[in-house]
Structure 1
């Protein structure tokens, strides 16, 4: 069992399998060169051995992220191996959805449990503005294919003032119509994002939805970052609000980067390198690095907008 110094049981690890992405989203990596390559990626068979140790130590949920994880052509074999090792571990994946039409059935057959798809707009030109890619038709087709093969889907939307804040309700209704669960994510300031961006906070998002719907909060049944709300028509949505004081109280997550660094918190610069241990297959050293990262997990993140303390580590590096 992995328990940090504040009594939180760590049961969830997010792993970035690559820093590479085919999008250049304004809130993540807008200025990253188009020819950027993740030359330090750890082979997935080596990552698998680390995750086996993590599962043995009490990890119950693994989320695969990037960058864009579907750029790894060996990803389905990796998922199959994880599923074979632990039939009970929850396996999820976060993607921008661009390649989803091609891979949805393969992911389902490999043993993936669920998907999160990042989608900030239903307008084609607007998605071009946000991601610098003509991607909306691909993403929508991918969503329908994933739905067809039976993968449960959550949609992640980052509402930005003057960019897509007029689609808060449109996105909610799109998800309700398609059986997806929408999660609004407050924009997380970081030094790699477009500095002119301003996000909507939880209060502002709820105010927009309340203009049309009556809603009520749902008491948390499980540990997780999202606050859930129910509409009078039975629809459900969530908000992830990392700027709130209570966001970190129940955090049960650590993160592994594609190059083998274990980050105890998205908004916390200190980290533990497990790279050499993973590459060499040193079981004792991998276990020590895992336990040290849990021990180092801070009580709360270091985000402070008033003091201009933002994440200096890129989200495509840590896995968002």
Structure 2
């Protein structure tokens, strides 16, 4: 089992397979993607070595992220190899949802269990303003299709001061009949966008108090759950989750490690630098990689230091998929 010096155990791997994305979200890639080409990212054999090593060390959940992971033509193959890896029980992905209506069934048949879709507004105009893409209707059809084929669906919404207002109520109205988990995520500061953070950061703590006052009840966390605090209400088909990285003790329940598309291990989303494990991946040496991962985990810190304005090496969220 992967365990750090603070006693935290890591059942959850967030695996980025590309940094590329064709959306231009204001909080991530407002000027579009200008990074490395696809040829520099992990190959399928490298990914197989990586996932096998993590699984043998007790990891049971893999989330395939980007950038936008569906931009890789071999995305279904990556899902399939994760499904075929002994010990991996849950396979999820995070996507902007642009291909979801078309490909949800193929992803499900390849072995996907859960999809997280980024939807920052239910207003088509505001959605286009935030993302640079006028595709809200298409993405909502994708959510319906994903539910239809049996995928568990979560929707990610970044809390932005300039776009909140009545939108919080619109999302809650949507959840009355929509059986998804909607997670409101506090905007996190990254190296490329400190000014945007200062203008748009909105604490989620008042919203948590509001939910409790309205009769929403906390959901008990599972072993491989992500960082969200989830709440349910008997009058709603959907649930609400809150991801509050600036809240007290946020890092105490950390159970996930990240590997970037360039083959670097990140012990935290806001680590100072990635730790290169690609030589072991290229060699396909699962046993040596397992030993190396256990050694590297000793460098994991107790917290992310975001409160001090330290964003580490994360210049934008597409680098690691959040």
TM-score strictly above 0.5: yes
Partner residue, 1:319: 321
Q: What is the aligned residue count?
A: 317
* Partner Cα distance (2:157, 2:267) in 1: 24
Gaps of 5+ in 2: none
Q: Does 2:208 match 1:206?
A: yes
Change (3 A) 1:265 1:165: farther
* Partner Cα distance (1:116, 1:179) in 2: 13
* Partner Cα distance (2:84, 2:61) in 1: 15
Q: CA deviation at 1:283?
A: 3.0
CA RMSD, Structure 1 to Structure 2 (Å) = 2.2
Partner residue, 2:70: 70
Aligned counterparts, 1:114-125, within 5 A: 114-125=114-125
3-state SS of 1:237 partner: strand
3-state SS of 1:116 partner: strand
Partner residue, 1:260: 263
State the TM-score, normalized to the length of structure 1.
0.91
Aligned counterparts, 1:49-198, within 5 A: 49-86=49-86, 88-193=88-193, 195-196=195-196, 197-198=199-200
Q: CA deviation at 1:280?
A: 2.4
Q: CA deviation at 1:118?
A: 0.8
* Larger CA deviation: 164-173 vs 96-105: 164-173
Cα distance per residue 1:237-267 (max 9 Å; x no partner): 1101011121111101100001100001012
Change (3 A) 1:115 1:249: same
* Partner Cα distance (2:36, 2:24) in 1: 11
3-state SS of 1:82 partner: helix
State the TM-score, normalized to the length of structure 2.
0.91
Q: Does the aligned pair in 1 maintain the 2:100–2:146 contact within 8 Å?
A: yes
* Partner Cα distance (1:310, 1:77) in 2: 33
Gaps of 5+ in 1: none
3-state SS of 2:231 partner: strand
* Partner Cα distance (1:88, 1:316) in 2: 25
Q: CA deviation at 1:214?
A: 3.1
Q: Does the aligned pair in 1 maintain the 2:55–2:88 contact within 8 Å?
A: no
Q: Does the aligned pair in 1 maintain the 2:59–2:88 contact within 8 Å?
A: no
